[in-house]
Structure 1
Amino acid sequence: MISLNLSPSLNPGLLHKTRTRQQPTRLSALLVTNPKPFNHRYPLGLSPIPNLQIRDAAAKPLLSLSNPESSSGFSKRPRSIAAVGSSDSNPDEKSDLGEAEKKEKKAKTLQLGIVFGLWYFQNIVFNIFNKKALNVFPYPWLLASFQLFAGSIWMLILWSFKLYPCPKISKPFIIALLGPALFHTIGHISACVSFSKVAVSFTHVIKSAEPVFSVIFSSLLGDSYPLAVWLSILPIVMGCSLAAVTEVSFNLGGLSGAMISNVGFVLRNIYSKRSLQSFKEIDGLNLYGCISILSLLYLFPVAIFVEGSHWVQGYHKAIASVGTPSTFYFWVLLSGVFYHLYNQSSYQALDEISPLTFSVGNTMKRVVVIVSTVLVFRNPVRPLNALGSAIAIFGTFLYSQATAKKKKIEVGGDKKN
């Protein structure tokens, strides 16, 4: 009789993610083979589903475990596999195991709450101080470059002091990363341009229309979506249109910037899914760090060309309007640091929860940011504008529900095949 217990630890930290797997205690004639360790989930559209196989000495497969909810091949909860017919059971051990699972579940829930809290808080801080800096220094190209610079320096510090494992960089990886980094640059600078011209709340309402572009571009590239997904994007389009027509601070440049940002980030996700599938050993945070560095190299030379001649004059005007240089420096520094931190927290949240829960959390985050910035900057909001914003955000919620059902159907079909 063979008894095999596997209890992987799937509780990654914020800055360092590790996986441990207990070795089987009674396995003399079995050989466990596992492919390269992957991260739980990848941002930018990557979602690998590796398999774990247990083979005997003659290399005959005895057991195959594959779970789309976890890239390690296991679900979030530890599983135990025991031989059929085992009669060894201790009530005390079962009771202790149940209490341990409850404590672990409570600890995980607490940690997830902290991660969500940090994610929301960091996003709010970024949006507030980013807008404060842009109000006195309306040069989004330089500010966007600094935000990428702050994230790049942060990742270099983590790698240099071995606070986070440094990725293995190869020439093929850099080549595959050039496209996603370019689209990330376009998405980031376009959003900053929009923030500089219109209210933060309006930009976020328009950016809630990103699923519309995702469905359209993916369909043009051959993906198919059920009717529920297409119907879910209708309230997004209607809500964004109503919000745009009734927006007090409406500006064509601000609207265009938010729309281009949606296109840029959608193309980044699609391109990443197609070009980076063979580099699954690079985890999400390292991938984002590499993209930030390449995006900085893309953006800063163009920023010098577009608005570099106005920076010195704009700096003196900003200092004069703020009163003290340290205050302006503080705003710019917070916008750069918290831009990277909120992205980092979002990846940590994605590692801990399902894509559907993440989508719902992201939708609620947008609501929190909109309400917070309206209260801080006291932007006038018309009733129809508020209604349009609510319809658009509700549409993104419906979209997340519909796409989650589509993924479940696809996974179920793969398992049957």
Structure 2
Amino acid sequence: MLSLNLLPPSKVTVSKSRGRCPINAPLLDPNLVNRTQKQRNASCSSFGFGYSSSSFSHPVCQISKSGLDFRRFLGHPFGVSSRFSSQTLGAAAGAPQESSPDGEIEVSKPNKNLKLAVVFGLWYFQNIVFNIYNKKVLNIFPYPWLLASFQLFCGSVWMFILWSLKLQPCPKIDKSFIVALLGPALFHTIGHISACVSFSKVAVSFTHVIKSAEPVFSVVFSSFLGDSYPLSVWLSILPIVFGCSLAAITEVSFNFEGLWGAMISNVGFVLRNIYSKKSLQSFKEVNGLNLYGWISIISLLYLFPVAVFVEGSQWVAGYHKAIATIGKPTTFYLWVMLSGIFYHLYNQSSYEALDDISPLSFSVGNTMKRVVVIIATVLVFRNPVRPLNALGSAIAIFGTFLYSQATAKKPKVEEKKN
């Protein structure tokens, strides 16, 4: 700005009301003008502003509809939006940003890594908190049907709050959308309640080891439906089967109900994924978070009536026994609330992560998440782990990692065939 004062008098007008700064361009050095334009563009874009210019002499900095919308924060876990944070964190840190051919500012690789680290950190942390307090509640209140219903209820209320306050755009739904969700929501209900039953019967670590066998069910069911897999995929599921079998045989807290609960949970979630691909193809405009929200609502309608029928008569006596065991009712209420809230939050974070990374990276991240959860729950609950049990768990999880690598190569194989 000091350099402008040294130039001959020229028409320099500033309109505060419209934010326009027309400058008599021929009087300025072209290099200085280009540099100034780039600085304006970068400063506007990095803070969520849109930059537009009808001509070179009329640069405009406008606030876009999506920029600086603080209402979006609550639509993401703990107020962190990966799409927003990647830009704002990069601008605040003064990190270099690259410009795409379309003129948009792209976040540099270090900032992308920071963003993914935050998202994955929240995902892992929320999952650990859920597993710990879910197990604490089930230890003194062994009624998984009610607890699973309450967790879906918390997710439903959370989404209604986001939609009513316009913190998250509410999708336009119709009869066809609800009908398309009935199947995925049913299988989601089966997967969720089966996992809760397993958690109530065996150690959390054992349930997660068995749930790491989900790729086996995915390959088998998909093959029955006509999908073909290369030999590397089939070979990758062998260590999963062997590792899970070794872990089950040597598990200290082994229980058949816990084993079958985890196995049925795998079947439920695999069928949910397969059914979703077929029934929800025409609703791609609905984002992952809204889709999961409606699945939670319909699953609650499925589960709660059955929960009342299965164990409703035992809830009152079980509640009084739990209060007598723990001593303080507020502690029991806190544990239940944390299990419900963090159940929804960790699923919300997983959808946020899936939006920003490839399916392969998500599979690897999900595998590592199980490792972190298993280690955390073993340390918290001090579950005895035999050497062979630890070895079987490690083999099963390593097989899951090999499966994610093998399936990542599957599209390339199909392309070569085509």
Scaled by the length of structure 1, the TM-score of the pair is 0.76
2:9 corresponds to: none
Higher helix content, 1 or 2: 2
2:88 corresponds to: none
How do 1:127-166 and structure 2 match up within 5 A?
Answer: 127-166=131-170
Q: Is residue 192 from structure 1 mapped to residue 213 from structure 2 by the alignment?
A: no
CA distance in 1, matches of 2:343, 2:254: 25
Identify which of 348, 353, 372 aligns with 1:368: 372
Pairwise CA distance, 1:409: 3.5
Identify which of 384, 393, 396 aligns with 2:388: 384
2:307 corresponds to: 303
Pairwise CA distance, 1:352: 1.2
Pairwise CA distance, 1:104: 3.6
Pairwise CA distance, 1:244: 0.3
Identify which of 331, 340, 344 aligns with 1:327: 331
CA distance in 1, matches of 2:395, 2:328: 42
**AA paired with 2:409?**
K
How do 1:336-355 and structure 2 match up within 5 A?
Answer: 336-355=340-359
1:401 corresponds to: 405
**AA paired with 1:277?**
Q
Secondary structure in structure 2 of the residue aligned to 1:337: helix
Q: Is residue 256 from structure 1 mapped to residue 257 from structure 2 by the alignment?
A: no
Pairwise CA distance, 1:105: 3.0
Secondary structure in structure 1 of the residue aligned to 2:390: helix
**AA paired with 2:157?**
I
Residues 78 and 267 from structure 1, CA distance in 2 versus in 1: closer, same or farther, beyond 3 angstroms?
farther
For residues 73-116 of structure 1, give each alpha carbon's deviation from its aligned partner in whole angstroms, at most 9, with x where no partner exists: xxxx974179xxxxxxxxxxxxxx9xx75x64333221211111
CA distance in 1, matches of 2:405, 2:54: 42
**AA paired with 1:289?**
G
How do 1:218-229 and structure 2 match up within 5 A?
Answer: 218-229=222-233
For residues 273-305 of structure 1, give each alpha carbon's deviation from its aligned partner in whole angstroms, at most 9, with x where no partner exists: 011001111110000000000000000000000
Identify which of 204, 207, 211 aligns with 1:207: 211
Secondary structure in structure 2 of the residue aligned to 1:80: coil
CA distance in 1, matches of 2:99, 2:133: 42
**AA paired with 1:320?**
A
**AA paired with 1:366?**
R
* Displacement over 6 Å in runs of 4+: 19-26
Secondary structure in structure 1 of the residue aligned to 2:282: coil
1:80 corresponds to: 101
CA distance in 2, matches of 1:171, 1:24: 44
Which structure is larger by alpha-carbon Rg, 1 or 2?
A: 2
**AA paired with 1:349?**
A
Q: What's the RMSD between the two structures over aligned residues?
A: 2.2
CA distance in 1, matches of 2:205, 2:367: 13
CA distance in 1, matches of 2:397, 2:50: 41
Residues 409 and 132 from structure 1, CA distance in 2 versus in 1: closer, same or farther, beyond 3 angstroms?
same
Report the identity percentage. Answer: 79
CA distance in 2, matches of 1:20, 1:139: 51
For residues 291-320 of structure 1, give each alpha carbon's deviation from its aligned partner in whole angstroms, at most 9, with x where no partner exists: 000000000000000000000000000000
Residues 323 and 167 from structure 1, CA distance in 2 versus in 1: closer, same or farther, beyond 3 angstroms?
same
CA distance in 1, matches of 2:299, 2:156: 10
Pairwise CA distance, 1:20: 10
CA distance in 2, matches of 1:168, 1:134: 38
CA distance in 2, matches of 1:24, 1:194: 60
2:61 corresponds to: none
CA distance in 1, matches of 2:54, 2:412: 35
**AA paired with 1:303?**
A
Pairwise CA distance, 1:408: 3.5
Secondary structure in structure 2 of the residue aligned to 1:278: helix
For residues 31-71 of structure 1, give each alpha carbon's deviation from its aligned partner in whole angstroms, at most 9, with x where no partner exists: xxxxxxxxxxxxxxxxxxxxxxxxxxxxxxxxxxxxxxxxx
Secondary structure in structure 1 of the residue aligned to 2:283: coil
Pairwise CA distance, 1:211: 0.2
Q: Is residue 267 from structure 1 mapped to residue 288 from structure 2 by the alignment?
A: no
For residues 357-380 of structure 1, give each alpha carbon's deviation from its aligned partner in whole angstroms, at most 9, with x where no partner exists: 111111111000000000000000
Pairwise CA distance, 1:200: 0.1
Residues 280 and 413 from structure 1, CA distance in 2 versus in 1: closer, same or farther, beyond 3 angstroms?
farther
Pairwise CA distance, 1:24: 11
For residues 207-250 of structure 1, give each alpha carbon's deviation from its aligned partner in whole angstroms, at most 9, with x where no partner exists: 00000000000000000000000000000000000000000000
Scaled by the length of structure 2, the TM-score of the pair is 0.76
Residues 378 and 175 from structure 1, CA distance in 2 versus in 1: closer, same or farther, beyond 3 angstroms?
same
Identify which of 292, 298, 306 aligns with 1:294: 298
Residues 239 and 24 from structure 1, CA distance in 2 versus in 1: closer, same or farther, beyond 3 angstroms?
farther
Pairwise CA distance, 1:177: 0.4
CA distance in 2, matches of 1:22, 1:268: 43
Pairwise CA distance, 1:407: 2.5
Secondary structure in structure 1 of the residue aligned to 2:281: coil
Gaps of 5+ in 2: 1-47, 56-97
Pairwise CA distance, 1:176: 0.6
